[in-house]
Structure 1
Amino acid sequence: MSHFLGDGFSERLQQIIDLGKWNKTEFAKIGDITGKSMSTYFAGTAFPKATTLANWGFFADISLDWLLLGRGEMFYSQVKAQEEDPIIRRVHEIRKVLEELGAAPETIQQAILNITAGSADDADEKMTG
């Protein structure tokens, strides 16, 4: 079993810096850590403490699920926007129900395609009708 932060953590940290909102020094300050600590995270020789992660999540809007595990969106604000979208909400609800019922991945994929195709057709009808 690999470490839960495992592969990709330092790469995701670099993605944050590559966005250009913060440089490494600024992002270290947001996390209330030193530049030296930040360097160890980029090198993959150490991982941040909970307080550093909490600061990044709260003050920089970084999704810790994304940062630590590579799941979901980079920013919490992106997650919130998706949760408010009725089509995306419907897709997540259907996927969850089908997974709980043990549906095959192909069945889940087809259900999602049906939902999104129907939604696109409805939108087209409203615009042209």
Structure 2
Amino acid sequence: MKDFIGDGFPERLQQIIDSKEWNKGEFAKVGDVTGKSMSTYVGGTALPKAKTLANWGTFADISIDWLLLGRGEMYYSKRAKEELDPIIRRIHETRKVLEELGADPETIQQAILNITKSSGDELQENFAS
């Protein structure tokens, strides 16, 4: 059986890194992995853990389905033009603006974390009243 989850993964991972114009170290940081781990992913000798994939999906707008299996669009924003959830829409808009301004991945990640934290605080206030 030739088709399995790892088929084409290293090439798709490199494609994402190139499209974001990040280096492997920056992308590793977004995924919360070491440079050594990143090298094994790009080299095709290992697949990342779920936490790393979730980080990449969240902070870089990457479709994990596309990354692992090559199905669908590379980015979530291309899959769903109109996000109904205002928090997700705010995250996508913030990421886009910061990327256009040339912000580094760490700044983008921190901004997204701040959005999700403040949104959680708002939800708690709404339920408390």
Q: TM-score, normalised by structure 2?
A: 0.60
Taking the aligned partners of 1:51 and 1:4, their CA distance within structure 2 comes to 20
Which residue in the other structure is 1:15 paired with?
15
CA RMSD in angstroms, aligned pairs only = 2.0
Give me the whole-angstrom Cα distance separating, in 2, the residues matched to 1:79 and 1:55.
Answer: 18
Alpha-carbon distance, 1:7 to partner? 1.7
Structure 2, unaligned stretches of length 5 or more? 85-129
**Which digits, 9 at most, give the CA deviation of each residue in 1:35-74, with x for residues without a partner?**
0000000111111000000000011110001000001100
Q: Does 1:38 align with 2:35?
A: no
In structure 1, the residue matched to 2:5 is 5
Which runs of at least 4 in structure 1 moved beyond 6 Å after TM superposition? none
Which protein has greater RCO, CA pairs closer than 8 Å, 6+ apart? 2
Cα drift, residue 3 of structure 1: 6.4
CA distance in 1: counterparts of 2:17 and 2:11, whole angstroms: 10
Amino acid at match of 2:16: I
Question: Contact conserved, 2:63 with 2:73, CA < 8 A, in 1?
Answer: yes
The alpha carbon displacement at 1:82 in A equals: 8.0
Contact preservation (8 Å) 2:30, 2:55: yes
Q: CA deviation at 1:4?
A: 2.9
Aligned length: 84
Q: TM-score, normalised by structure 1?
A: 0.60
Q: Distance between the aligned counterparts of 1:79 and 1:11, measured in 2?
A: 21
2: CA distance between counterparts of 1:36 and 1:3? Answer: 26
